[in-house]
Structure 1
Amino acid sequence: MHSILKVVDRILDTRPDTLDFRDQLYEATLVDVPARIDLEEYRKLNIPILDQGREGACTGFALATVAHYLLAKRYGLNNLTPVSPWMLYAMAKRYDEWPGEDYEGSSARGAMKAWHKHGVCSDRLWTHRSGKVKRDLTGTQASDASQRPLGAYYRVNHKDLVAMHSAIAEVGILYATGLVHEGWERIDSDGAIPLKETIRGGHAFALVGYDERGFWFQNSWGNTWGKNGFALITYDDWLLNGTDVWVARLGVPIILNNPIPRKSQPRSSQQKTSAIYANLRPHLISIGADGALSDNGTYATSSEAVQRILTEDFPQMSASWQKKRLCLFVPGGLQSKDQVVEAMTNLRQVFLNQEIYPLAFLWNNEYGATLTQILQNGLKQRRPEGTVEDNQDFMLDRLDDALEPLVRPEGSLQWSVLKTKALQAAKIYNGGIRLILQFIDQLQKQEPNLEIHLVGHSLGSLLLEPLVQLLTTDGLISGSLLGGDVGYGQAIASCTLWAPASTLSAFHESYGQAIANNKIGKFTLFTLTDEAENNDQCANIYHRSLLYLIAHSLEEKPRIPFSPTHAQGTAIAGMEKFIRQDEQLQSWIASGKVDWILAPNTGSQGAQFHCAARTHEGFSQDPATLRATLARILGEPEMEESEDTQE
């Protein structure tokens, strides 16, 4: 007698994991491995048999089964809260190797990463809804998911039966994927799947036992399939059609009131990431490579998430505030996403304590590594061996002069791509900046007293250029940035730029127009002195500041020594020597329309003017700069020093 089910009625769309040498492999230990682990022993636990129906979500359902088993073993079945397979499936798509979300199915690795980075919420908080599967978490979901974190997890060699037996004996359950054939439609009365040749597609399931014939697994097609929801895949079948296997342990739920210093973090800190994400989620916006919202990775952002931040999270958090202040913060771009997130764990509460809601942008966070590689490539063209320290320092200025033209071919191309990304975020119909401003415009109409504040560091000024132009322009926009578009005509309460990387021409087209039209209440430029710029360095290869490299090499008009038109390269808005040469900026500074703060300084003019930064990156790490920026947002001459704003 056979159990008959038309496999063709099921969506079989699990994708094999791509090759990734970063996977940590499980190694069999000397734990006692029984000759068999009977299915009946596993069934005594009464782990729920799930049914995914006609949905291609088996990666989520199979992993939910693994979660149910591990949670039941830890807390007991009576205390088991069913988890959401839909969350696991939807979040897995953030970590698959394929772009976008307009495809069915996902990979086992993607699902494991999703659980490891976010935890898994209860089934009642994330139930399936017809249509497009969402890929972002609400605050409630994120908080609940962090209570069920995944600890260590390893890839098991799916061709190594000894390792697989050992892993099942050690943990009790494995997460597996394999190819489904027509034999799955006619299962023997004892639960065994007859091996057939015709492949139907890929599927995920949970291995829960074994005997001399093969592996027992729990499926997610309901309890009428196979042997009450289970089946046995023979070793011959598995070795031919098995594709991926993972083994895992639960993590420990933790509460973090303060971030762990980076130097004390363990090698794998994703459990910390999962724990803090619930608090940070409403304060992070990810912009992708094409300028649209990024829908992949730990900090993916959808348009629905942006809407929820601005229509739910911000209003709820600011309900009791005397003034509603929204601060859009764009970091410099040289830090990795993890570094920005770590910084935001500190800054979030500092801002909220002052009744300022911070919203940070994650964008172009790979540029620091890219720039280092470009400089290294340029250096190799001059000296294939050794390091800068091997040379005598009296030649360092000549090394910089030599590097600038060498890095230009590759560096200017990457710089142009970066600037295009920033512009696209406001220009294309689904650009991240454009979508955010649509919601801000709606919010400002509901909250007429809402204050918009901008803070940008270094490369962050590039992303703010089109944002300022689109937000502040009344009617039709002119110029090369967003010419032909229609602006919102809104005002900005304050705009503070730390060492902006914008060219002076782009600065005047965007920020300058807003300043001239009185659309920015308080505008402040923080810059290094020219002496400090020349004492700075990039990747310990180029011995001037990043802004010098941009001005001399990466921008459209490179520096050509002794040239009457190119001797200084391209004028950059964040550099002292160019600000002093710009008549319009000097006029605004003299009239008080623009405050210019040169660093480092002692703060003799008061907290609003204090900045101790000595390097380009130093602005984001300087407590005095933070206090001065907060004082300007609050419109206060002095900002009280607190532990939060100290190093």
Structure 2
Amino acid sequence: MAQNDNESRTFDVLPDPADFRDRLYEPTLIEVPPRIDLEEYKLIKVPILNQGSEGACTGFALATVANYLLRRRKIDPDELPVSPRMLYEMAKRYDEWPGERYEGSSARGAMKGWHKHGVCSSEIWPYVLNKVDRILTSDRIDDAVRRPLGAYYRVNHKDLVSMHSAINEVGILYVTAVVHDGWYHPTPEGVIEPSNKKLGGHAFTIVAYNEDGFWVQNSWGVEWAKDGFALLTYDDWLENAMDVWVARLGAPIRLRSAKATATSLSDNAGKAQVYTFSNVRPHVICIGNDGQLSREGTFGNTEEDVEQIFTNDFPRITEGWTKRRILLYAHGGLVNDRNAVQRVADYRPLLLQNEIYPIAFIWKTDFWTTLTNILEDALRRRRPEGPLDAAKNFLLDRLDDAIEPLARTLGGKSQWGEIKENGILATKNTEGGGRILLKHLDNLLTANSDIEIHLAAHSAGSIFLAPLTQLLATSGKVETGPMKGKPGYGHSIRSCHFWAPAITIELFKETYLPVITNGALKHFDLYTLTDKAEQDDHCANIYHKSILYLVSNAFEEIMRIPLIRDFGKPILGMAKYVADDVELTELFKQSKANWYQAPNNLPEGEIGASRCKGHGDFDDDRLTLISTVTRMLRKEVPNPELEFQRSADSMKDEREQLDSLAKV
């Protein structure tokens, strides 16, 4: 190998951070021979790859693993090389370090990427040195699911017995190590001689072994070492090894129905998400810090990905529809990412069946976990050790009054403020995910004026959509609210549906009410709990009213103080504040706006029907969703196909309840 080629190499593989969730490989009683001959491995003719100067070795080494496993598959072997570029780009998406705009990655990140998405062929996603190409196109996604990863395990890199056993079971290991100057100058026999000059982290594969060490296949071309292979001594390995993984291929499957997609995505399906990603991805936009697009995780996306939704996915999926509709949906603040995506998958069959194309903002809230901790801390500060004395029962009526100021000062107000700010910034920030969506949505609507736009939001989602609605529906400059002074796009919104919205009435009047009044937003439906249901609700069985009562009384700028200020900040999702507001009362007298309170006895299919008894019920209440879709269609929903999958949180709650009963 030429010296200048060596000098251009990049060594920036990152070690896998400790993660005790990793499944550790355990040796079986498979026979382990004293050696595996390299020449036997060469008979399989796994391509020798060349990464060039880019630090993409995690993708190249894992591509070598995939190429080997595909060629060795007993049924339907596949000699078409896979894409190192896809594996490398996905590795950066799943690393524990933020962003993708850097070279280098970790072995675990690459394994997660293959596990989540599969891997496409190099023909569909070719590797061009230093060319930025991060777009997961529909063709790439559809091809990648044909090569899913099955089971994979971490191998103790210090345990040679486990490594020998694993390579005899599977035939190849995916490894990372710190490499040194000796890698530049292997002997004519292909032996890497020791050196104290460290170069950095590198990924490669182990394909054979003998009594002296491991035979490695590198990604530096056939000119390196012995036709692309070299012997790494055990001493060298034990001194410099970082991580080892072993894997098997999964079996490709095809899900033909939207319902099957939702089921496969659920927590009951375990690790089957690779099969559902291609179906759900065109309906999801992930929002991270400061409202910007989140590039990390299974459904992370870039602006190019958002553009793909409108230029590729939407035309493809809606081809043949008699009426095209887009629903922009924002979930509530108590929901984590996984459950939010699951809801999109649950809604998808019903919506697509009725020619409604959903686009959901997944905006990383998950306030519930934080809120529960805050409430538990607040309760501890207001009770003694041991059981409560029955003589103090009269104090239970004042528990909520005591919880509110404590929850506020223990972080509730600041956490709620961050959620609201992040939602607003998604559109207010010029680089925010909402602003990016609006740019591409505007292009679509300008060219296709017949497409209907609908909005729906649960709880804090109403705050997220507020500035977006201002820009989307305002003609000329926005006059009030967070987007004041900004020019709007002037498009019509056919309907807007709020389920127990957490937006303040003040912000609603600044953002939504102007476009409802001037007719740019054609129809508005508000769903709330009755005030009795609101007061019968609870938060973690500590605060004994709904989350909206807690937000109104403790987390907004104005705090409720008993006897001094008996009301908190008026919130649109609370029946008592809606009923007391003169302007809202007048609004709901008009045909373009309706207010429905739950639970009610309206039959399924009738607009306004809802059986919700708590704040968290709205996003998975069958009648509420069917009612919402009926309003969008302006006609009855025929044979509604709707089934909600259970979330991990609900199953966890049931397990804990069963455990507590078992202890009694």
The TM-score bracket by the shorter chain reads over 0.9
The CA deviation at 1:260 is 8.0
What is aligned with 2:650?
none
Could you tell me whether the CA contact under 8 Å between 2:604 and 2:623 is conserved in 1?
Answer: no
Match of 2:637 among 624, 639, 644: 639
The 3 A distance-change label for structure 1 pair 135 and 224 is same
The CA deviation at 1:76 is 6.9
Could you tell me whether the CA contact under 8 Å between 1:96 and 1:107 is conserved in 2?
Answer: yes
What is aligned with 2:149?
150
Could you tell me whether the CA contact under 8 Å between 1:324 and 1:449 is conserved in 2?
Answer: yes
The CA deviation at 1:245 is 1.0
Listed as ranges, the matches of 1:343-382 within 5 Å are 343-382=343-382
TM-score by length of 2: 0.92
What is aligned with 2:547?
546
Q: Map Cα deviations across residues 391-417 of structure 1 (whole Å, 9 max, x no partner).
A: 998754432222111110200000111
| SS, match of residue 253 in structure 1 | coil
What is aligned with 2:273?
273
Q: 5+ residue gaps in structure 2?
A: 646-664
Separation (CA, whole Å) in 1 of partners of 2:423 and 2:361: 12
Q: Which amino acid aligns with 2:40?
A: E
Q: Which amino acid aligns with 2:341?
A: V
The CA deviation at 1:80 is 2.3
Q: Percent identity?
A: 49
The yes-or-no answer on 1:560 pairing with 2:558 is: no
Q: Map Cα deviations across residues 9-50 of structure 1 (whole Å, 9 max, x no partner).
A: 212221112222222222223322222122112112111111
TM-score by length of 1: 0.94
Could you tell me whether the CA contact under 8 Å between 2:46 and 2:64 is conserved in 1?
Answer: yes
Q: 5+ residue gaps in structure 1?
A: none
The CA deviation at 1:113 is 0.5
What is aligned with 2:584?
585
Could you tell me whether the CA contact under 8 Å between 2:605 and 2:630 is conserved in 1?
Answer: no
Q: Map Cα deviations across residues 214-235 of structure 1 (whole Å, 9 max, x no partner).
A: 1111011111111111111111
Q: Map Cα deviations across residues 185-244 of structure 1 (whole Å, 9 max, x no partner).
A: 110121110101111222100011111111111011111111111111111111121111
What is aligned with 2:649?
none
Separation (CA, whole Å) in 2 of partners of 1:19 and 1:458: 37
Q: Map Cα deviations across residues 485-538 of structure 1 (whole Å, 9 max, x no partner).
A: 222122211100100000111111111121122211010100000011111122
The yes-or-no answer on 1:402 pairing with 2:384 is: no
Separation (CA, whole Å) in 2 of partners of 1:122 and 1:220: 17
The yes-or-no answer on 1:56 pairing with 2:55 is: yes
| SS, match of residue 290 in structure 1 | helix
Could you tell me whether the CA contact under 8 Å between 1:9 and 1:54 is conserved in 2?
Answer: yes
The yes-or-no answer on 1:451 pairing with 2:452 is: yes
What is aligned with 1:620?
619
Could you tell me whether the CA contact under 8 Å between 2:264 and 2:276 is conserved in 1?
Answer: no
Q: Which amino acid aligns with 1:570?
A: K
More deviation in 260-269 or 67-76? 260-269
Could you tell me whether the CA contact under 8 Å between 1:404 and 1:552 is conserved in 2?
Answer: yes
The 3 A distance-change label for structure 1 pair 178 and 338 is same
Separation (CA, whole Å) in 2 of partners of 1:46 and 1:127: 20
Separation (CA, whole Å) in 2 of partners of 1:456 and 1:104: 38
Separation (CA, whole Å) in 1 of partners of 2:120 and 2:393: 57
The CA deviation at 1:472 is 1.7
The 3 A distance-change label for structure 1 pair 389 and 511 is farther
Could you tell me whether the CA contact under 8 Å between 1:3 and 1:188 is conserved in 2?
Answer: no
Separation (CA, whole Å) in 1 of partners of 2:253 and 2:393: 50
What is aligned with 2:662?
none
The CA deviation at 1:70 is 1.4
The CA deviation at 1:580 is 0.7
The yes-or-no answer on 1:310 pairing with 2:314 is: no
Could you tell me whether the CA contact under 8 Å between 2:91 and 2:109 is conserved in 1?
Answer: yes
The yes-or-no answer on 1:33 pairing with 2:32 is: yes
Q: Map Cα deviations across residues 327-372 of structure 1 (whole Å, 9 max, x no partner).
A: 1011223222222222222311211111111111111242222222
The 3 A distance-change label for structure 1 pair 260 and 122 is closer
The 3 A distance-change label for structure 1 pair 59 and 387 is farther
Q: Map Cα deviations across residues 464-495 of structure 1 (whole Å, 9 max, x no partner).
A: 11111121222222334122322212221110
What is aligned with 1:206?
205
| SS, match of residue 281 in structure 1 | helix
The CA deviation at 1:382 is 2.2
Could you tell me whether the CA contact under 8 Å between 2:605 and 2:637 is conserved in 1?
Answer: no
Q: Which amino acid aligns with 1:639?
A: V
| SS, match of residue 121 in structure 2 | coil
Could you tell me whether the CA contact under 8 Å between 1:8 and 1:200 is conserved in 2?
Answer: no
| SS, match of residue 574 in structure 1 | coil
Could you tell me whether the CA contact under 8 Å between 2:374 and 2:407 is conserved in 1?
Answer: yes
Separation (CA, whole Å) in 2 of partners of 1:633 and 1:244: 53
Q: Which amino acid aligns with 2:34?
A: A
RMSD: 2.5
Could you tell me whether the CA contact under 8 Å between 1:27 and 1:163 is conserved in 2?
Answer: yes
Q: Which amino acid aligns with 1:381?
A: R
Listed as ranges, the matches of 1:206-245 within 5 Å are 206-245=205-244
The yes-or-no answer on 1:414 pairing with 2:412 is: no
Q: Which amino acid aligns with 1:542?
A: Y
Could you tell me whether the CA contact under 8 Å between 2:283 and 2:359 is conserved in 1?
Answer: yes
More deviation in 512-521 or 368-377? 368-377
What is aligned with 2:119?
120
The CA deviation at 1:609 is 1.9
Q: Map Cα deviations across residues 75-110 of structure 1 (whole Å, 9 max, x no partner).
A: 479632211110000011111111122211111111
The CA deviation at 1:605 is 11
The 3 A distance-change label for structure 1 pair 261 and 118 is closer
| SS, match of residue 381 in structure 2 | helix
What is aligned with 1:524?
525
| SS, match of residue 471 in structure 2 | helix
Separation (CA, whole Å) in 2 of partners of 1:569 and 1:421: 23
Q: Which amino acid aligns with 1:509?
A: E
The CA deviation at 1:460 is 0.7
More deviation in 317-326 or 181-190? 317-326
Listed as ranges, the matches of 1:387-536 within 5 Å are 396-409=396-409, 410-536=411-537
The CA deviation at 1:643 is 4.0
The 3 A distance-change label for structure 1 pair 263 and 126 is closer
The 3 A distance-change label for structure 1 pair 288 and 253 is same
The CA deviation at 1:377 is 2.1
What is aligned with 2:109?
110
Separation (CA, whole Å) in 1 of partners of 2:359 and 2:299: 13
Q: Which amino acid aligns with 1:412?
A: K
The CA deviation at 1:549 is 1.0
| SS, match of residue 470 in structure 1 | helix
The 3 A distance-change label for structure 1 pair 207 and 547 is same
Q: Which amino acid aligns with 1:540?
A: N
What is aligned with 1:335?
335
Listed as ranges, the matches of 1:42-191 within 5 Å are 42-75=41-74, 79-129=78-128, 133-191=132-190
Could you tell me whether the CA contact under 8 Å between 2:346 and 2:643 is conserved in 1?
Answer: no
Q: Which amino acid aligns with 1:548?
A: Y
The CA deviation at 1:389 is 13
